[in-house]
Amino acid sequence: MNETHNEDALPGARAVIRQYIDAVRELIAVLAISPTPFADGEQSWTVRTFLAECERLGRLLAQAGMSDCARAVANLERAGADLPSEESVRDIDAALTFLRARLHDVVAPGASTLQGSADDAAGVSADDLRSALEVPAPGAEDQDISGATAADHTGTDMFGGEDMSGGADERDTFDESQFSAETLAMIRAFQQSTLRRRAPGEVTPISQLVPADVMDEIPEHLKRAFLLEAGNDLATLRALIASFGNMPGDSDDLRTMAQIGHKVKGTAATYEFPVLAEVMYCFEGVPRVLHPVATERAADCLNVLIRFADVIDVALQEAHNLGDATAERLDEALMLVANARTIALPPDSSAAKPMAVPTEVPPLASEGDGHGQSSAHIPAHRILEEDFVRVEPRELDGLMHESDGLAMNRSVLAQTNDEISHVQSEIEDVLARLAALSTQLSELSRMARQSRELARLDGDALPWPSARASRGGAVAGNEFDLDMTSSLDESLRSLSEAVVDVTALHGGLTSLIKRMARNSEAQQTVLHGMQQTIIHLRLVSLKSLSDRLTLAAHSVAQIEGKQVEIIITGRDTEIDRNISDALVDPLMQLVRNAVAHGIESPAEREATGKDPTGKVWLHASYSGNEVSIEVGDDGRGVNPHQLIAAAVSARIRRPEHADYLTRDQALDLMFEPGLSTTEKAGVIAGHGIGLDSVRTAIQSLRGKITVQSGQGRGTVFRIRVPISLSITRAMHVRVGADMYAIPLAMIQHMFSLAEPGILVSLPDAEQRTPSARFPRRVRIARSAPEQPLRRPDDPTAALYDEVPVFSLAELLGLEERPQTSHTALLVDAGQRQVVVLVDEVFDESEVVIRALPEHLRRRAVRGASIMSDGRLFLVLDLADLLTDALDSKSIVRVPPVSLPERSRDRPALVLVVDDSISMRRALEKTFAGAGYDVRIARDGVEALGMMMAELPDVMVLDVEMPRLDGFELLAVIGANETLAQVPVLILTSRAAEKHHRQALELGARGYLTKPCPDEVLISNVQRLLRERQIQS
Amino acid sequence: MLNTPQQDEPKHSSSSSGTPPLNLSQLLALARAQTIDEQSDALEQPHRAADSVTPPTGDPYLLFTCADVACAAPLTHFREVLPTLPTTVALPFSPSWVLGFFAFHTDLVGLVDPAPFLFADPEMTGISRARARNGRIIVPGLAASPNNALRQGAPESGPTAVVVGVGERTLALAVSSVGDIAYMGKDDLDTAPVLTAPARVPVERFRAGSFTLRDSQPAYQVLKINALLDTLLDSLMSVEARSHE
């Protein structure tokens, strides 16, 4: 070991040491994440790498004169080789504690104890270490792709002046004679690897640090563990950014952000996510750059940080899905760094004009257009946690405690069972005695008969024995009597004893049964507790979600030039992790809408006497088994008349139907797809594609969303979602012989169709109201009559709602039978109320929903549950059932249409309707090739919509299709005079004669079976077109 | 070698040594016995139950009938034979061969009628859905004649279900009846395809061969249970997918 050094040689050597220290530190982190040291009897990859690193680090530390660290590493190495013994774990702990302190002093940013710890290192002065670690390499500015100057990384500001980029000093020279050949070889290797890098922030991956014989492929689970950790770091980062937004002058937040960036950068490189590492490298310098202007340009700084967090979020998702972040993410990161540097320039600088940086939130790959498209965007830390559930030790303790309770109860049950067996054995004894007694009594009976016979033979009719004794009867007779009496007494005594025994046994059994009942109750309590605990394990607080929402609101406010105060309460409200994930997009959309459209500009607000700073709030709270979330603003509110006008204009509502809309119903139009009252669509909102996605997402969570708004007073959305999807409160109903449970959240009211005063009889087939297209409907009197906004002619319109009626049997596709039930449930089907008829309604109760195996899952079935008597039943999702019913029913009756005539000059229009993509494409190609104009539809519903828009000349129709099949479509268009003009050619795989006949009966003009040669197909179409021409 | 478990002649013994303890019902029978013969019968009951059985050779096959066709399959493929048809819950949006599902230990298991698949006849039904729904219908089994291979005194069951598969890939197959277990060597299996079927036979993809216990009896069709299970599960999945369209 060489204890004396040439001072010039130190920087280069220490650069190498630092690389090793980084590697060991990462391995320590890996061991902390994945402590299992051995796999299949061999040392794991982690441990082997760890030991190899320890060995090399120990040698280098010794050569560098840091003998105390070298000794600690030697201890670490020795202990690591002995894993997993308890002693080795203790030794590792001790060595790690020492090394952590020393490594922190040497490497960690802002090392306050640098002087002291360096002084402890024999042969190395603090100044040497400081200079080795902090002096930038000449020309570092040229290398820095982010454009940051050396001062950004090395300044003596609050960041402690340490260069966190790593590798900036790799061009240092040193005296080769001071090092052994092996060390020199390693130093050269490192220099080569670092010199070739284009970014100074790049950290050498473990695979480059560790010889090939030691290095295996990095296990996938370790990569995932890193990404999980990084996701959590991102959540922390967002919380810090939110905190910075509240107190821009707080340098601690910026410092911690940089530390997080540095940590993730290093680990990402170690785990071979080079692009992600570069993104993080870009980020880690940004807090330093922004720090000097954090207070005076707080909004700009916040904006950059928010956007950077989003970029990191997407980068993490990409790393999870694609193996690493994409170059696009790095480009965005570099632009944001440039923007940060522009913000930090002095105001009078000629370069003060910001660079071309996107002014909106960076496009997140999974967010569609980022503004309300229904998407699967889930925060990175959520995606990454799919395979993990973080459990607090106290929760595990609770579970263990409950498990102990179960075990204790089990032992009590076993003891009770033993006692019952004992009672059973005693009952068997008594039974045996009773059997013997029975024999004895039979014998006595026989003796009695004999005695009576003897008496009869003696001619003595007197009763014995006294009579015979008085007559001086035989001694034998007396003895006989005595025997009988004695036997009888004995039998009676035995009987009495048996009765006493049975009574005692009955008492014992009763007591045991009571004990069993108590045990059963205790068991139920413990099981319920366990169930609650386990459900609780999946719950997460809305805190991380609220941070994202705060950032989103700030970001939008800045883009829109508005002043907004974000108020979030109930952050600690907990909800199932899956539900929390699924709420991200809807809530984000609502908050963006609130800021972009709800809140007015400061000038507008002042003009109307409002505070120039608008308020957007999110309140979360529990409501029974549900979580209630309110997203509101005190902005301009929504004009329901405008909504109605927009709905009519967009052909979402017919004018005559719109007349009947109440205020709430009009506001509900906000959730209709394609409806927007915003004159100018922006990047934030206004495309009319947001709120319908919000409602769809909430409904998919078995939740509900309502809206209230007052002009000039703001808008409030109220969302209710279950805390967990596995437990719900439901009403039990019977249909035929089957029981079902319907979640209470869907049921508004229960009543009988025969109930007077509530219902009016079925109306006639007027085409007046929105519900008129349904064959069966009822009028339900409104409890609080609300006048429709447009005040139609019908004076009774305010008194009732007209609601379609379905039977549950019909919805479930059960066997047809006469509907005799009058038991009705008024159900909230999202867009409208629906009455569902069932045979009987029972009590409501809390049901635990068990998912069916994948192959048994069916539409509208949430799962199964079990009654207290052991009977199984299905838990239904009525919304799903009714959505389809309302969709298909809504197009069954098509009003008369008058369609524009198609120009005779154009080629004939062929409408191809088939649910198979390949078939649609093939047919489209065939007909287009033959010179026809072709339209394609996926099913009957889509075809009908297209026919309504433009009448085709001929239709080629498949039979088996979702939603509305070919036969159903034939029936629908056959009932409409205009649509019936279109000749239909059936093209199906159904070859049976009965199907052929059915199609022709329904009005088809031709029937072909697949596969069908093109020429046959085209000749049939030509035939139909000729026939149509002749007819017209 | 093809065989079924053979029983020895009942060993009657008047000695009480080695007599199994009487259970409650036997005690009751003894107490109620009116005659010496009845008492004697009651006392002999445990002896008869304890009669020994000679160990069989070959692989065990479960014999059962499906849509009145005698079938067999390796016993190892079955998880459980239910005593009767379980009471099931109807599954909406399902074809008629899906009879419902029921609670099987801690799992939810689907009950299906394999007959339409086994015999490639969509119209064929082994067990009606209504019967499966009601469940617990105990139809007196046919008492086995002394000449057939079924254990004497152990009549065939009525309609019931056999559970096959593991984990999520578990299904219960409704069968007309379940008989005994036959032991069969590999040489006993006739794997020749059936070209002209005198009677209904399973389609070849689900049929491993056939064997006959007695010349006078119809052949048992040996089934490829795993292939059948895969097909049924695939079909259920496609039903599931269609229900979501």
For residue A900, name the pLDDT band (cuts at 50, 70, 90): very low
Looking at per-residue confidence, does A133 or B188 come out higher?
B188
Could you tell me which chain A residue has the CA closest to the CA of B233? A855
Best B94, B168, B245 residue to mutate vs chain A (most A CBs within 10 Å): B245
Is a pLDDT exceeding 90 seen at residue B114? yes
In the structure encoding, which two tokens stand for residue A671, read together? Answer: 């959730």
Distances in Å between the alpha carbon of A678 and those of A395, A605, A648, A654, A743?
49, 19, 15, 21, 36
- A690-707, pLDDT tens digit by residue? 788 888 888 888 788 888
Is a pLDDT exceeding 80 seen at residue B95? yes
Tell me the three state secondary structure of residue A366: helix
Assess contact for A940 and A969: CB atoms under 8 A. yes
Chain B residue numbers with beta carbons less than 8 Å from the beta carbon of A874 are 89, 91-92
For residue A111, name the pLDDT band (cuts at 50, 70, 90): very low
Is a pLDDT exceeding 60 seen at residue B161? yes
Is a pLDDT exceeding 80 seen at residue A32? no
Is a pLDDT exceeding 80 seen at residue A382? no
- A316-331, pLDDT tens digit by residue? 888 888 788 888 888 8
Percent of chain A with pLDDT over 90: 5
pTM score, whole prediction: 0.49
Q: Do A424 and B24 touch (CB under 8 A)?
A: yes
Q: Tell me the mean pLDDT in the region B129-144.
A: 42
Task: Return the minimum-mean-pLDDT range out of A57-66, A484-493, A991-1000.
Answer: A57-66
Its ipTM equals 0.73
d(CA B87, CA B100): 9
Task: Give exposure, B112-122, as e/b (b: 16+ Cβ within 10 Å).
Answer: bbbbbbbbeee
* Residue-level pLDDT at A744: 85
* Residue-level pLDDT at A715: 92
Is a pLDDT exceeding 90 seen at residue B78? yes
Could you tell me which chain A residue has the CA closest to the CA of B244? A859
* Residue-level pLDDT at A480: 66
Is a pLDDT exceeding 80 seen at residue A514? yes
- Each domain of chain B, given as residue ranges in start order, spans 15-52, 59-243
* Residue-level pLDDT at A24: 61
Is a pLDDT exceeding 90 seen at residue A816? no
- A144-159, pLDDT tens digit by residue? 333 333 333 333 344 4
- Please state the separation of Cα B127 from the chain's center in Å: 14
HSE on the CB side for A710, CA within 13 Å?
Answer: 2
Is a pLDDT exceeding 70 seen at residue B240? no
Tell me the three state secondary structure of residue A527: helix
d(CA A758, CA A818): 24
Percent of chain A with pLDDT over 70: 63
Chain A residue numbers with beta carbons less than 8 Å from the beta carbon of B89 are 738, 864, 872-874
For residue A397, name the pLDDT band (cuts at 50, 70, 90): confident
> Who contacts A821 (Cβ-Cβ below 8 Å, separation ≥6)?
A807, A837, A838, A839, A840
Is a pLDDT exceeding 90 seen at residue A170? no
Rounded to the nearest angstrom, the minimum Cα separation between A991 and chain B is 16
Is a pLDDT exceeding 70 seen at residue A784? no
Q: Tell me the mean pLDDT in the region B32-47.
A: 62
* Residue-level pLDDT at A656: 66
* Residue-level pLDDT at A793: 52
d(CA A640, CA B218): 78
Closest residue to A856, CB basis, from B28, B101, B103: B101
- A518-553, pLDDT tens digit by residue? 888 888 888 878 877 777 777 888 877 787 788 778
In the structure encoding, which two tokens stand for residue A645, read together? Answer: 């006008």
- A638-685, pLDDT tens digit by residue? 888 888 888 888 777 777 666 667 777 788 888 877 676 555 444 344
For residue A710, name the pLDDT band (cuts at 50, 70, 90): confident
* Residue-level pLDDT at B37: 67
Q: Tell me the mean pLDDT in the region A602-619.
A: 91
* Residue-level pLDDT at A824: 86
HSE on the CB side for B159, CA within 13 Å?
Answer: 23
According to DSSP, the β-strands at A704-710 and A614-623 are unpaired
Looking at per-residue confidence, does A789 or A768 come out higher?
A789
Best B96, B240, B244 residue to mutate vs chain A (most A CBs within 10 Å): B240
Residue A105 — left, alpha, or beta (φ > 0 → left; ψ -120 to 50 → alpha)? alpha
d(CA A759, CA A752): 9
d(CA A911, CA A932): 10
For residue A262, name the pLDDT band (cuts at 50, 70, 90): confident
Looking at per-residue confidence, does A558 or A518 come out higher?
A518
d(CA A288, CA B197): 86
* Residue-level pLDDT at A821: 66
Task: Give exposure, A881-903, as e/b (b: 16+ Cβ within 10 Å).
Answer: bbbebbeebebeebeeeeeeeee
Looking at per-residue confidence, does A740 or A78 come out higher?
A740
Is a pLDDT exceeding 90 seen at residue B229? yes
Mean pLDDT of the residues in chain B: 72
Is a pLDDT exceeding 80 seen at residue B225? yes
Is a pLDDT exceeding 80 seen at residue A33? no
Ordered structural domains, chain A, with CATH: 1-132+139-217 (no CATH), 218-365+379-385 (1.20.120), 393-537 (1.10.287), 540-722 (3.30.565.10), 727-889 (no CATH), 894-1031 (3.40.50.2300)
Find the chain B residues whose C-beta atoms sit closer than 8 A to any C-beta of A.
Answer: 24, 27-28, 30-31, 87, 89-94, 101-103, 107-110, 133, 168, 170, 233, 236-237, 239-240, 242-245
Rounded to the nearest angstrom, the minimum Cα separation between A854 and chain B is 7
* Residue-level pLDDT at A388: 62
Q: Tell me the mean pLDDT in the region A957-982.
A: 81
Mean pLDDT of the residues in chain A: 71
In the structure encoding, which two tokens stand for residue B70, read together? Answer: 């005698």
Looking at per-residue confidence, does A453 or A466 come out higher?
A453
Tell me the three state secondary structure of residue A803: strand
Is a pLDDT exceeding 70 seen at residue A763? no
* Residue-level pLDDT at B73: 94
Is a pLDDT exceeding 70 seen at residue A560? yes
Q: With CA atoms as reference, report the closest residue to A775 among A876, A885, A860.
A: A885
